[in-house]
Chain A
Amino acid sequence: MSGDYLFYLWGSYGVTFLLLFLEIFFLLKRKREAKT
């Protein structure tokens, strides 16, 4: 996949999965803190 649209396409996918990863990261952190 190539072309002028790489920024828009991968900017969408990259940020989406980064945000989902961050939600999981902070949720697991909260889970650890809730257990202590």
Chain B
Amino acid sequence: MKWFWYASPQTFYPLAGRMAPWFAAAAALLCIAGLYVGLVVAPSDAQQGEVYRVIYIHVPAAWMSMFIYVVMAGWAAFGLAFNTRLSGMMASALAPTGALFAAIALWTGSLWGRPTWGTYWVWDARLTSELILLFLYLGFIALQAAIDDPRRADRAGALLAIVGAVNIPIIHYSVVWWNTLHQGASVSVTRAPTMAAQMLTGLLLMAFAFWMYAIAVTLVRVRCIIREREG
């Protein structure tokens, strides 16, 4: 693959157009499979009953909100270091979807918290740091929108994105570092799963569905940005 060839917005534009429908189709298929496994196949939770099924939305959305921020900050840092036009465009294209997943994680977490914790919201370290992540996304979008020159907007946004990246390990380790109402990690790569296989399958299918969705909409959005900036 000619990586440097596709680093140019003009050459990346048609490639993004060819890739987006495939990622969108993958997202739709994975979402159908994930919803079927999560809502039909997976058993009820012994303690929480049916309401636990919120995790099939909540956990993948929370993962994606953090993952997209890391990718966005990576693109932003790359653009700042090498002054590449596409990097700033990719960071700008990722931010709205990252903000959307952060908002979904907060909303679904709140609706899950009410019946299980007895409250929609607490100023717990995990919840508060996720809320700060949403504000970082919104701040990044607002900062870029406030600056007319796109290249200057990219540089200013990049600084905010890089500084804000410190919040990602704080979100991840908040349930370890502090005594939080929020439970610990649902899935870990270092230990065996503690949930039923069908539950884990549904969770991973929805996570991959959201991942494919994020790639598809980002590719479409970056094509819009390329057209808007470079005609």
Contact = CB atoms under 8 A, between A and B. Distances in A.
Contacts, number: 63
Contact of A12 (B107, B213, B224, B227): B107
Interface string B49-65: 11101100110010000
- DSSP majority for the A interface? helix
A31 B111 contact: no
A20 B213 contact: yes
B103 A19 contact: yes
Interface in A1-36: 1, 3-5, 7-9, 11-13, 15-16, 19-20, 23-24, 27-28, 30-31, 34-35
B51 A9 contact: yes
Interface string B203-231: 00000000001000100110110011000
B33 interface: no
- DSSP majority for the B interface? helix
Contacts of B96: 23
A23 B217 contact: yes
A27 B104 CA distance: 18
B39 A20 contact: no
B163 to A, nearest CB: 26
Interface in B96-130: 96-97, 100, 103-104, 107-108, 111-112, 114-115
Interface of B: 39, 49-51, 53-54, 57-58, 61, 96-97, 100, 103-104, 107-108, 111-112, 114-115, 213, 217, 220-221, 223-224, 227-228
